[in-house]
C-alpha cells in the first residue's frame, strides 16, 4: 500500500488557515467515533421492528426511533463511503 498521509504544516508563516483545517479533520474524526458508539448502542436496543427502547434511551418522541436510527446509520455509511446519502446533513438539521 502506498504511503498517502498528508501532513498539515502549521509552522510556516503563510499557513494561516492550517490550524482550521486540522480542527475540521479532528472534529470529523470525533463525530465518526461518536456516531459509531451511538449506532452500536442503537443496534443492541432494537430488533428491526421495535425501536421503543431507542426512543427511551435517547429521549426521542414515540415513533421516531427508526427515523433517527436510519439517520445515524446513513450518516456513518456516508462517512465510510458505503452510501451516497445526505443523512450527515439531515441529522444536523432535523435533530436538536
* Number of domains the chain is built from: 1
Whole domain around residue 36: which residue ranges?
18-94
What is the C-alpha separation between 60 and 38, in angstroms, rounded?
14
Q: Using pLDDT thresholds of 50, 70 and 90, give the confidence band for residue 1.
A: confident
Question: Burial of 70 by CB count in 10 Å (0-12 exposed, 13-18 middle, 19+ buried)?
Answer: middle
On whether residue 10 sits in a domain, the answer given is no
Write out pLDDT tens, residues 53-92: 999 999 999 999 999 999 999 999 999 999 999 999 999 9
HEC states along 13-40?
CCCCCHHHHHHHHHHHHHHHHHHHHHHH
5: in domain: no
pTM of the predicted model as reported, rounded to 2 decimal places: 0.89
Amino acid at each position: 500500500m502506498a504511503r498517502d498521509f498528508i501532513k498539515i504544516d502549521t509552522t510556516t508563516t503563510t499557513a494561516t488557515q492550517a490550524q482550521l483545517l486540522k480542527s475540521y479533520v479532528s472534529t470529523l474524526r470525533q463525530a465518526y467515533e461518536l456516531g459509531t458508539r451511538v449506532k452500536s448502542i442503537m443496534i443492541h436496543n432494537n430488533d428491526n421492528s421495535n425501536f421503543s427502547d431507542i426512543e427511551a434511551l435517547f429521549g426521542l418522541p414515540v415513533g421516531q426511533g427508526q427515523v433517527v436510527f436510519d439517520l445515524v446509520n446513513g450518516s456513518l455509511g456516508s462517512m465510510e463511503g458505503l452510501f451516497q446519502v445526505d443523512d450527515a446533513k439531515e441529522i444536523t438539521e432535523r435533530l436538536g
